[in-house]
Structure 1
């Protein structure tokens, strides 16, 4: 495990007559945790014209938001998304207003994947094309075979804009704690 003990960096900037040192301290994001307010980020549904703001989406509602490393990938298509589609009725009967799937893909791919999986009226398929939301909750992972920056696999319950449950897969991509069967609606 790597620990960051000193975060000060030195940069040399050339002024008009000499060099001088500038000290800067990088800001490190902290992973989302229970009790955090959901960040205000625009995601996309069906096309780039249909923005969905995460803060507004979650205001006054109980939302299950789960994220996957990529649309149409084997684990996501065979297990993760189908579980939420199959359990949507039971979860909504327990007080969940909406179930949302987020992936670092474009909105056209997410719409096509949702249609292919039969998610249309059960799970909202939201695209995070620049990984803005994924980075805001600090749950990104670098997966070069899938195109670089992707989302870790996780699930969360958001009640009135605040994270009340968060299940991040230990390796970021596995299929255990973030599955629909492990969601605990209180």
Structure 2
């Protein structure tokens, strides 16, 4: 079952890559405090993830912070070595933190895993806004490319929630 608005983030062991180091932790420890934007990609270094999805979040960090986002986190079903290399090469360290979900256990727990031919289990492409561990908004990408799960769409949702508040 796919996680929904109002659901709590599950607690699953993950590796957190951020500020140059890797730490063993849990998904709820990373995503459970404050306002967090969590987006996931099918794979580090894959064309759409690398050129369209991640860069939008990296270049818009200031805009996300202006909307009260405490943390931007990217998830990938890759080992932490690949995830760290991608974060470093993307110049995202210090701007975006990364969850390396090597076995896809978090992807499964969220109900957002999928099988991709030749790649195995991966995250579906999505983004979510989390408030103190509870999913506030969820944007699952149904088609190829980056539209509803990209930084511009998430920023629009944050702006809309500010206006309605």
TM-score between the two structures when normalised by the length of structure 2: 0.89
Question: What whole-Å deviation, never above 9, does each CA across 1:134-177 have from its counterpart, x for those lacking one?
Answer: 0001111111222x111100000000000000000114x53110
Question: What whole-Å deviation, never above 9, does each CA across 1:86-118 have from its counterpart, x for those lacking one?
Answer: 111110111000000000000010010000001
Match of 1:33 in 2: 4
Q: Is the 8 A contact 2:22 2:80 kept in 1?
A: no
Alpha-carbon deviation of 1:49?
A: 6.4
| Equivalent residues, number | 155
Whether 1:181 and 2:147 are equivalent positions in the alignment is no
Q: Is the 8 A contact 1:62 1:159 kept in 2?
A: yes
Whether 1:42 and 2:10 are equivalent positions in the alignment is no
Please identify the structure whose Cα radius of gyration is greater: 1
Q: Is the 8 A contact 1:153 1:174 kept in 2?
A: no
Q: Is the 8 A contact 1:48 1:107 kept in 2?
A: no
Structure with greater helix share of residues: 2
Say if 1:162 and 1:142 are closer, same or farther in 2 by CA, change over 3 A: same
TM-score between the two structures when normalised by the length of structure 1: 0.79
The answer for unaligned runs of 5 or more in structure 2 is none
Pairwise mapping of residues 17-166 of structure 1 onto structure 2 (< 5 A)? Answer: 30-46=1-17, 50-146=23-119, 148-166=120-138
RMSD over equivalenced CA pairs, Å: 1.6
